[in-house]
Amino acid sequence: MSASLSYTVPALKPSSKLQPKIHILEPDLAVLDYLRLTLGDKYCLNLFSEEQTLLDRLEQKEAPDLLLLAMHSNRDSLPLLTNIRCSKPNLPVIVLSCSAELRDLEMVIRLGVRAIVMKPFVGSDVEQAIEEHLSAVEKKVPAADALKEIPLNENHSFVRSSKRMRELESQASLVARADIPLLILGESGTGKEILALYTHKMSSRSQNIFLKVNCAAVPADLLESELFGYEQGAFTGAVKTKPGKFEVCSGGTIFLDEIGEMPAMLQAKLLQVLQDGTFSRLGSRSPMKVDVRVIAATNINMKEAMANKTFREDLYYRLNGFTLSIPPLRERKDEIPVLAEYFMRKSSKKYGREALPFSTALLNGLMEHSWPGNLRELENVVNRYLVLGEEKAILEELSPSTVYQGATAPVAAAAEPPNGAGLKAMVRSLKGDAESTAIAQVLEGVGWNRKAAANDLQISYKALLYKIKQYDLQPAPRDRA
């Protein structure tokens, strides 16, 4: 055999039905020849010994039914796997591995491979893994926690690969059919809008409009007219009648994001809409009736808001026909490789750039980051990696010691961890102290202008507010003359 190899082996035994097409990448030519002899009588094989030749074939021709991908301990194969997952997200992959290192295998599994067959092969290991996959496809039995990507519109998809998110998906599907108000809870950036859109798509209203209103982004004095519309002459500048979002959305779903920021005056009007579907435009005494499903979302603690009288209890219980709570990204880190690959594929298509692979070092950096900005922060990091094309800069950004470039003063000594604290707890404590000190220094440097501080720290405004609350940061007391 030659030093490099790429050729097709048609099934040796004739069959009445079309043979499954399988691509095999194996740099070891002796192993490749063994697989040809072992599998050649049942499948139509395309054999490759070089990565680029395989990538070229995948780009030029229709994807096969299955890819067998060999991973060797002397080379980092994760960039190749992430590259393939980006370009062919629906291509099933079985990994042939000679490494039993737990960390490597965990990362491969998180990237959505169907099976891992360890070398040296014993008996019919490889054939059994292939048949199990083909049998599951034939019976249409999906793997319980396999990657699932449901397109919602041109720009968004519902993506999940963990048991916890699969349960959330199942709950949302059930609630969608019930057509009751829905409250979605979760930190900023966890994907509350995506879950709301998914619920709408699974409901009987899916063919009608889905409309989002961010209650925190619209000034309080304009929010009422935005939601409920106004009559001509209702106020200065109202030169003609304008329908509100509830009218426009009749028959569909309205998504009220940041509902906890809604002014108390409007909460009473929203309560009436939820009770009997009626409201009046500004400047009108005639009630209007609409058929709108309300999905609300917030990142605040609703029980605290009710206790502080900033949110009406009766409105909360009306909105809370059912509650879905989205876990933060730090509590479902097993999904990070899959989500990073999804964001890379999405962004490369959006910006017309070739998708970049993720190395083991970069994936580990993503896995170890705390992600205060959740999915939104992860997408932004992936976008920066795509634009910069350099993973070193991203790794430095993810590193707790260098992520906040605005903080140049020495970090105060960390508080001594409690006796008996494990290594992980000690590291978390050190990172937390360093992070809080760095944020406090930047805030003091800009006179506690939060937007300016967020810009200097290169994080979102919401992420900064979360950190201020997490570390209970407050302006330093000023000396009075």
Q: What is the pLDDT of residues 192-242, one digit of tens each?
A: 999 999 999 998 899 999 999 999 888 887 898 889 988 888 787 878 888
pLDDT recorded at residue 175: 87
pLDDT recorded at residue 16: 40
Contact status, residue 282 vs residue 326, Cβ threshold 8 Å: no
What band does 14 get if pLDDT is binned at 50, 70 and 90? very low
Phi/psi region, residue 273 (left: phi>0; alpha: psi -120 to 50; beta: rest), is: alpha
Q: What is the pLDDT of residues 20-63, one digit of tens each?
A: 899 999 998 999 999 999 998 889 999 999 998 998 898 887 88
Contact status, residue 448 vs residue 455, Cβ threshold 8 Å: no
pLDDT recorded at residue 17: 54
- Judged against a pLDDT cut of 70, whether residue 421 lies above it is answered with no
pLDDT recorded at residue 376: 92
Which of 277, 334, 37 has its CA nearest to residue 163?
Answer: 334
pLDDT recorded at residue 154: 83
What pairing do the DSSP bridges indicate for beta strands 44-48 and 66-71? unpaired
pLDDT recorded at residue 430: 52
Between the alpha carbon of residue 43 and those of residues 9, 15, 395, the distances in Å are 8, 10, 43
- Judged against a pLDDT cut of 50, whether residue 365 lies above it is answered with yes
As a whole number, mean pLDDT of residues 335-358 equals 90
- Judged against a pLDDT cut of 90, whether residue 412 lies above it is answered with no
What band does 6 get if pLDDT is binned at 50, 70 and 90? low
Cis amide bond preceding 120, omega within 30 = yes
Q: What is the pLDDT of residues 240-269, one digit of tens each?
A: 888 889 999 999 999 999 999 898 888 988
Compute the distance between CA of residue 109 and CA of residue 106 in angstroms, rounded to an integer: 5
Between the alpha carbon of residue 51 and those of residues 23, 27, 31, 108, 401, the distances in Å are 12, 8, 16, 17, 36
User: Percent of the chain, pLDDT > 70?
Assistant: 83
Listing from the earlier edge strand, what are the strands of the sheet with 93-97?
6-9, 44-48, 21-25, 66-71, 93-97, 115-118
Compute the distance between CA of residue 240 and CA of residue 234 in angstroms, rounded to an integer: 9
The two three-digit tokens of residue 393, written as one number: 């800069």
Q: Is 37 exposed, middle or buried (0-12, 13-18, 19+ CB in 10 A)?
A: exposed
As a whole number, mean pLDDT of residues 273-302 equals 89
**Block residue for tokens 């039914």:** 65
pLDDT recorded at residue 144: 46
Between the alpha carbon of residue 233 and those of residues 230, 239, 242, 432, the distances in Å are 8, 6, 11, 55
Q: What is the pLDDT of residues 71-116, one digit of tens each?
A: 877 677 788 888 888 888 888 899 888 765 545 666 777 777 878 8
Contact status, residue 233 vs residue 267, Cβ threshold 8 Å: no
Higher pLDDT, 3 or 464: 464
Compute the distance between CA of residue 151 and CA of residue 357 in angstroms, rounded to an integer: 23
Higher pLDDT, 462 or 328: 328
- Judged against a pLDDT cut of 60, whether residue 391 lies above it is answered with yes
> How many CB atoms within 10 Å of residue 80?
18
Q: Is 222 exposed, middle or buried (0-12, 13-18, 19+ CB in 10 A)?
A: exposed
pLDDT recorded at residue 99: 66
What band does 478 get if pLDDT is binned at 50, 70 and 90? low
> What 3-state class would DSSP assign to 229?
coil
The two three-digit tokens of residue 398, written as one number: 């993810």
pLDDT recorded at residue 3: 52
Contact status, residue 294 vs residue 250, Cβ threshold 8 Å: no
What band does 167 get if pLDDT is binned at 50, 70 and 90? confident
The two three-digit tokens of residue 15, written as one number: 């069959």
43's CB contacts (< 8 A; 6+ apart) are 11, 19, 20, 21, 22, 130
Compute the distance between CA of residue 246 and CA of residue 269 in angstroms, rounded to an integer: 12
Which of 349, 350, 361, 348 has its CA nearest to residue 389?
Answer: 348
Higher pLDDT, 377 or 149: 377
What band does 140 get if pLDDT is binned at 50, 70 and 90? low
Contact status, residue 232 vs residue 239, Cβ threshold 8 Å: yes
- Beta bridge partners of residue 96, listed in sequence order: 70, 117
Which of 115-124, 299-308, 322-331 is least confident?
115-124
- Judged against a pLDDT cut of 60, whether residue 346 lies above it is answered with yes
pLDDT recorded at residue 4: 57
